[in-house]
Amino acid sequence: MSIIKDVQSGKKPLKRAYVAIFLWFTGRAIQAAAKVDSEVKKEFEKLPEDFTFSLGCLPCGPWMVVGREKGVVKYLGGDSRGRPVQVRLAIKSLDAGFLILSFQESTALATARNRLITDGEIPQALAIIRILDIVEVYLLPKLIASLAVKRYPSWWSFGRKLGGRIGVYTRTLLGI
Amino acid sequence: MNSAAVFDFTCPVKTNSGNKALEHLPVELAGLNAVNPLIVANARAVGPKAVRTLMNAFGDSKMTLGLFEGVTEAADLGVVDHLKNICLEKKYDAFIALGGGKAADVAKVLNLAVSLKTPDARQLSPKTPVRKRLLPLVVVPTAGADGLETSGFAHLNRMIFSSEFLAPGLAVLDSRLARARKGILMAATGLAALGRAVESHVSADRNPFQKAYSFAAVRFVRENLPAAVADPGNKKAALAVLNAAAMSGCAFSNAASGRLHKLGQVFYELLGIPQGVIMGMCLSRVLEDGFREGSCDPAALLQPLAGDDAFARTPAGKRAEAALALLNRFLEELRGALGKDLPKSLSEAGVSGYRKEEILDVLGKDEDGHYLRGVVEGMAGGKRERKG
């Protein structure tokens, strides 16, 4: 018997499922927010036609792919194969992804802790981060959203928050 | 320090430190073009939980890992040769040393043997030329590390292998592995880091890069070691001590081998006493003697030990004495906190007379042997020997 054991790396099904569901829901919410929120719409309009970005965990996913198709923002699933991706936001590990997406670490803190890799143009990546921040504010209650974003937009009107939330949630759940 | 002087400084070590730093390993290894790593560990020293934590960090990466957890304090080049044959057969392309001390030494020499495809690793010696980059080496120090993990040195078979290519490409310091069960383990790590950083910081030929590493290491130890010793489960303090150890290794790689290091190493290799314990015993004396001989400048220690304000308030002529007094107070506080766990003399450390003679024989062969033997004699009864 060899003194060296070969060990297959294990699996983390619960964390993987949580991250996959979160990315799936957020992807659909971005698609919805692009129709409901004017700021998100403007951010996407500044990005090139057929622009696609992905967000996910290294080395084996899960991923979320969102892109513009003929001017319309669409959630394109979890697989970017066969499609050029202009910006890839990669979280270094599934555990780091879980920390960020379960709001134990804000995006800014995770970046400071070297947990994120950006592959693509920095201005476009920053636009995506701004879009993600807005979507998180719509999706999450203030207490949790404050942990996820760098600065909670207390200057938003009550109407924008309530109307936006209803619109984003309805469209996300219906996938429209 | 003459910053305009010609100097060399090499530190190829990238450091990943903090909460869940281990989980970045699959991506970091991919960045080093490695997909089939071998983990080298002393399971008895680091414990099964540390091995499990490291293995779990690879979860979901779909990688296959080799695991050798049988490193012992008696590991030699024979073990390295046996491992080398298996590594070449199984085509491992990177090495991960879990824990400090022998595990890191074995991983470094194994990396050398596998990278050079040495037919018989038992023929390796410090004279073996190392002219090319070796396979990626990652060190994951745990509580009880000695700081040499991040250095370009490996001690095996009473030989010192030295090359910048032996230094790891990546050091991963994770707070889950930094915590110790006993305060003495933290003290040994912190004092080893302090000893090497101090020697590097006060040496006459220090350069600005070396000074930056040793400055941070001394300050980290000063600020965090008491808390880590008082509560070995304190993640933040323990991680800071581990960081200090890693930095001291980088600084030490670029400094001449000092008296403290030599003393610590000889006791560790012959008797298995942690270097930090021995360095803590003789740190004050070696510094005071060096100051008296004019071979070192303890004044440089005041800023990292006392802080910027105290350093600025102290007149330049009194900084050396102030630094030495502060260092003595720091060591006394540590001894007070640990009580009998941190021996003050060789007799308290359980070193018998004939083992001391063995140590004296080995030290006698060193170029600085006469002085080092004097220090050991002084440590024997815990008394301070003064010249003249």
Instruction: Say yes or no: B202 and B328 in one domain.
Output: yes
Same domain, B200 and B124: no
DSSP class of residue A3 equals S
Last-in-domain residue among B154, B178, B202:
B178
Per-residue pLDDT tens digits for B350-385: 888 888 888 898 888 888 888 899 888 888 765 444
> Is B66 close to A6, i.e. CB distance below 8 A?
yes
B145 φ/ψ angles, rounded to the nearest 5 degrees: -65, 155
Domain, as residue range, for B162: 14-178
Instruction: Look at residue B2 and tell me if it is in a domain.
Output: no
Residues B209, B91 within the same domain: no
Q: Specify the pLDDT at position B309.
A: 94
Q: Is the pLDDT of residue B255 over 50?
A: yes
C-beta separation of B24 from A93 below 8 A: yes
Q: How many alpha carbons fall within 13 Å on the CB side of residue B121?
A: 28
CA-based nearest residue in chain B for residue A92: B24
Does any CB of chain B come closer than 8 Å to the CB of residue A16? yes
Do B212 and B262 have their domain in common?
yes
> Given the structure tokens 């495809």, which residue do they identify?
B117
| Residue-range domains of chain A with CATH | 13-174 (3.30.1050.10)
Same domain assignment for residues B26 and B158: yes
Pick from A4, A60, A99: CB nearest B20: A99
Complex confidence, ipTM: 0.81
| Candidates A5, A12, A113; nearest CB to B18 | A113
pLDDT of the residue at B388: 35
* Residue of chain B nearest A1, judged by CA positions: B86
Residues B164 and B226 in one domain: no
Same domain, B238 and B207: yes
Which DSSP state fits A8?
E
Q: Does A92 touch chain B (CB under 8 A)?
A: yes
Q: What is the mean pLDDT of chain A?
A: 88
Give the closest-approach CA distance of A56 to chain B in angstroms: 13
Contact between A53 and A124 (Cβ < 8 Å):
yes
Residue B172 has pLDDT above 90, yes or no: yes
Segment among A72-86, A123-137, B37-51 with least mean pLDDT? A72-86
Contact (CB<8Å) B67/A5: yes
Q: How confident is the model at residue A1 (pLDDT cuts 50, 70, 90)?
A: low
Instruction: Tell me whether B31 touches chain A (CB under 8 Å).
Output: no
The confidence score (pLDDT) of residue B349 equals 85
Same domain, B155 and B296: no
Nearest CA in chain A to B54: A9
Asked if B278 and B187 sit in the same domain, the reply is yes
Establish if B276 belongs to a structural domain.
yes
**pLDDT computed for residue B381 by the predictor:** 65
Q: Is B64 on the interface with A (CB under 8 A)?
A: yes
Per the domain annotation, does B388 fall within a domain? Answer: no
| Closest CA in chain A for residue B23 | A93
Average pLDDT over residues A137-166: 83
Residue from the list B30, B65, B87 with its beta carbon closest to the beta carbon of A9: B65
> Is B23 in contact with A93 (Cβ distance < 8 A)?
yes
What pLDDT does B387 receive?
A: 42
Asked if B36 is an interface residue toward chain A (Cβ–Cβ < 8 A), one would say: no
CATH number of the domain enclosing B283: 1.20.1090.10
In a shared domain, residues B199 and B310: yes
Mutation for testing the B interface, residue in A9, A91, A115 having most B CBs under 10 Å: A9
Chain A nearest CA to B64, separation (Å): 5
pLDDT at A155: 80
Determine the length of chain B: 388
Residue A59 to residue B26, Cβ atoms within 8 A:
yes
Q: Long-range contacts: A130-137, Cβ < 8 Å, 24+?
A: A130/A43, A131/A30, A131/A33, A131/A40, A131/A43, A131/A44, A132/A26, A132/A30, A132/A55, A132/A107, A133/A107, A134/A33, A134/A37, A134/A39, A134/A40, A135/A26, A135/A29, A135/A30, A135/A33, A135/A40, A135/A168, A136/A26, A137/A161
- Domain termination residue (choose one: B149, B178, B207): B178
What letter would DSSP give residue A95?
Answer: H
Q: What single DSSP character describes residue A154?
A: T
What pTM was computed for the model?
Answer: 0.88
Between CA B83 and CA A3 the distance in angstroms is: 8
Q: Are B220 and B350 found together in one domain? A: yes
- Lowest-pLDDT choice from A146-150, B99-103, B335-339: A146-150
Residue B59 touches chain A, beta carbons under 8 Å: yes
Q: Which of B256, B90, B369, B315 is nearest to A5 (CA)?
A: B90
Using one digit for the tens of pLDDT, what is the confidence trace for B211-231? 999 999 999 999 999 999 999
pLDDT at A162: 81
- CB–CB contact A6 B64 (8 Å): yes
How many domains does the structure of chain B reveal?
A: 2
* Residue at B3 is within a domain: no
DSSP state of A150: S
Q: Is the pLDDT of residue B2 over 70?
A: no
Query: Where does a domain end: B117, B150, B178?
Result: B178
Query: Considering chain A, what percentage of its residues have pLDDT values greater than 90?
Result: 35
| Beta carbons of A9 and B83 less than 8 Å apart | no
Is the distance from CB of B74 to CB of B102 less than 8 angstroms?
no
Considering only alpha carbons, which residue of chain B is nearest residue A6?
Answer: B66
Q: To the nearest whole angstrom, how far is the Cα of B91 from the nearest Cα of chain A? A: 12
pLDDT at residue A55 is higher than 90? yes
Of B38, B56, B82, the CB nearest to A10: B56
What's the pLDDT at B386?
44
- Is residue B53 a part of any domain in this protein? yes
- Residues A148 and A140: their CA atoms lie apart, in Å, by 9
Task: List, for residues B259-311, the tens digit of each pLDDT value.
Answer: 899 999 999 988 889 999 999 999 999 999 988 888 888 899 999 999 999 99
**Domain with B76 in it: what CATH number?**
3.40.50.1970
Q: Please indicate, yes or no, whether residues B259 and B148 belong to a single structural domain of this protein.
A: no
Residues 79-98 of B with CB under 8 A from A: 82-83, 86-87, 90
Q: What is the pLDDT of residues B57-92, one digit of tens each?
A: 998 888 889 999 988 888 889 999 999 999 999 999
